[in-house]
Amino acid sequence: MENDKELITQPGLTFLDDGSACVMLWTPHLQGSAVYLPEKNLTLPLSRGQRGYWQLITTEIQPGDHYQILTDDGRKLPDPASLSQPQGVHGPSQAIDLNEFEWSDEAWQNPLLEEYIIYELHTGTFTVEGNFEAIKSKLPYLKELGITALEIMPVAQFPGDRNWGYDGVFPYAVQNSYGGAKELMSLVNACHDTGIAVILDVVYNHIGPEGNYLPAFGPYFTDKYHTPWGNAVNFDDAHSDEVRHYFTQNALMWFRDFHIDALRMDAVHAIKDLSPKHILQEIREAVDELMDNTGKTHYLIVECDLNDRRFIDPIKQSGYGMDAQWIDEFHHSLRVAAGGERNGYYSEFNGIGHLAKSYRDAYVYDGVYSEGRAKTFGTKTDNPGRQFVVFSQNHDQVGNRMLGERSSTLFSFETQKLLAGAVMVSPYLPMLFMGEEYGEDNPFLYFVSHTDEELIAAVRKGRKAEFASFHTEGEAPDPQSVKTFERSKLNWNSLDDPQHKVVLGYYKTLIEVRKQLPALHKLNRNQLNVEYNEEQQTLQLHRWEGAQHVYCLMNFSEEQRSTTLPLEPGKLKLILNSADARWNGPEQGLSPTVIQPQSIIIYIN
C-alpha cells in the first residue's frame, strides 16, 4: 500500500469482482500478522502498509471458509471486522461474500422521513422462533397495521444467543443465532417488497465486555474519557483516524451492502469526541457521498439526551447533520401526565404542563434550570417536526424497569388508549414498541447469555443498582436465566382475546387517521397551538394545514370534564373518541363538550 487512497478499503475480509479475497487489517500493535485457515491448515502472511494497516489479496480463501488472525505472539483471534461468527464471539470468523445475495428491491425508494411510522422490535423476542426469517411472516400484519418503518434493535454479534444487542462486540458481523448476514438481507428485501423501510439500531459509543478483541489489535479505546461502559471509543486520541474509519465504513456497509434505509445510533451523548470534525459529522458526510453515488436516500437517527440542537442541525449551520433524534422528554412528560410514577428521572417532569411544552417546543428543558442536574440545561429548537421521534414506551423505558412492565400492566385500559392517541396526534414521528399495538401483557425484561461467571455476577449486581431509585420491593429477574428471556417473548395468541382485538383495531384506526388528515400528517410545528388546564388535567391540541383544522381534546384526570369547543358542535366532525363503545369505552352519547376520564377526542372542522 503506497498511498492513502488504498486505506479507504472496507476493513475485514471482502471478495473482489474477480473472486479473490481482500483482507484489510488495522493493527499498529503487531510486528507481524497472518490469516490462518484452520480447516486447510494454511497460513497466509499479510503485508505491512502505512499507519498500521496490513493487507492480503488471495484466491486461497473462498466463501464459507473459517479463518483467524494469527498474531506475532502466536495467538489466533477472530477478525475485528468479521462479517460472520458462526461459532460465537470466541470462535473463528467466516468468510462470506455479501455480493452473492440476489436483491429484488431495485425499484425501492425510501419514503420521506415525515412518512415514517416506526415499529421497534427485538429479533429474539418478537416471535417464538426469534430470528429474521420469522419476522418476515409478520410483515403483512405490520403493513395492515399501518407501519411504514421497521426498527430492529442491534444485531451485531454478541455473546451467546440472548441479549438486547447492546453488548455487541463485532460491529460488522450479524448475530449468528438470528440467521446471520444473508438472512438479514433477505428480511430487508422482504420489507422493501412489502413497502416497509428498515431502520437498524447500531452502537458506536461502546463495545460489549465479553468477546471484545479490539484492544488486542490497536488503540480502539482511550482512557482520556470514561463512559458507563468503561474507557471511551477512541474518536479523538492518537490513532483515532483509523478508529473513525472503522466505524464510518461500518455505517456505509449497512446502507450499501444491506440496503438498510436508516440507522438509529445508540446514546450518541456517550460518544466522546473533541475533534474539529465530530465523528457524527464525518459519518454524515460519508453517507451523503454514498447517496450522491447511488441515488438512494438514507437517514441517520440518534438517541441523544443532551437537548442540543447541534446534533440535528445541518452541517452548513454548524451542526452534525443528523436527520432526527429520539426525544425522551415527551415520553417522560406523557407518562407523568397519565399518572405514572414521579421518581428517578421522572421527578424532573410535572406532567401535563411539560407535555404541552413538549408538543410546542420539542425539548422540555431548552435553556432552563434543571434541579436534577443542578444547572441550566438544553437549547431551544425550531427544527421541523420530522426531526423528533416520540413514543409512549420503548425497549429502554420498559426493559429498564425491574420487572419489565409494559403500559398494559401499569395503566388502565382507557389510559393506554389515551397514551397512544397522544403520540399519534403529535407533530413528530411516532414510534410503537412491539406488542404495544394490541396491549401485550408479557414483560420485556433485561437478559444476557454471557459465559464469564465474574461478568455474570457483575451484570446482576449492576442491574440491581441501576433501578434502585425505581423499585424497593422484590427481586429482579435473573438476566442470565433462559426463563427471563422466554418470558419476554410476545404472546401472539393474545390476538384471540376480544379485548386485545379491540386495542389492535384502535391502533389501526389511529394510524389511519394520522395518515388521512393533512393537519396531522404534515409535521408543521408552526401550525400548532396547545392549551392546558392544570387543575382539570385537560389538554387541547390544535393543529392545522390549509383549511383543515384538527382539535385533539385530552382528559388525563379520573373524572369527566367539560370543555369549550372552538366552534359550534354542528360545525365540527367527530373523527375519533377513545371512550367510544366501539373501543370498549364508557361513552354513551354524552354531550360533545364532555370528555370521559382518561380519554382523547379528535374533531375536524
Instruction: Quote the DSSP letter at residue 154.
Output: P
Cα–Cα distance list, 273 to 11, 227, 264, 281, 586 (Å): 22, 12, 19, 11, 54
Distance CA 304, CA 268 (A): 6
Name the active-site residue from 65, 210, 266, 440.
266
Is 303 considered catalytic here?
Answer: yes
Q: Are 333 and 351 in contact (CB under 8 A)?
A: yes
Beta pairing partners, 550: 543, 604
Closest to 278 in 3D by CA, of 324, 247, 253? 247
Angle formed by the axes of helices 328-337 and 413-424, to 10°?
140
Residue 437: φ, ψ to 5°: -70, -15
Q: Which residues are within 8 A (CB) of 321 and not within 5 positions of it... i.e. 6 or more apart?
A: 280, 281, 284, 285, 288, 300, 313, 314, 315
Which residue carries 490469516 as its cell?
Answer: 35
Catalytic residue among 242, 303, 361, 396: 303
The phi and psi torsions of 295 (rounded to 5 degrees) equal: 80, 5
Neighbours of 279 (CB within 10 A): 22
Residue 371 cell numbers, joined: 434541579
Q: What is the DSSP-derived secondary structure letter of residue 153?
A: P
The residue whose grid cell reads 430470528 is 131
Whether 568 sits among the annotated catalytic residues: the reply is no
What's the farthest any 2 CA atoms get from each other in the chain? Answer: 84
Confirm if 439 and 503 have CB atoms less than 8 A apart.
yes
∠ Cα 335 560 506 (to 5°): 55
- E strand intervals along 143-209: 149-152, 156-157, 170-174, 197-202
Evaluate whether 197 touches 110 at the Cβ level (below 8 Å): yes
CA 178 to centroid of chain Cα atoms:
17
Give catalytic residue positions: 266, 303
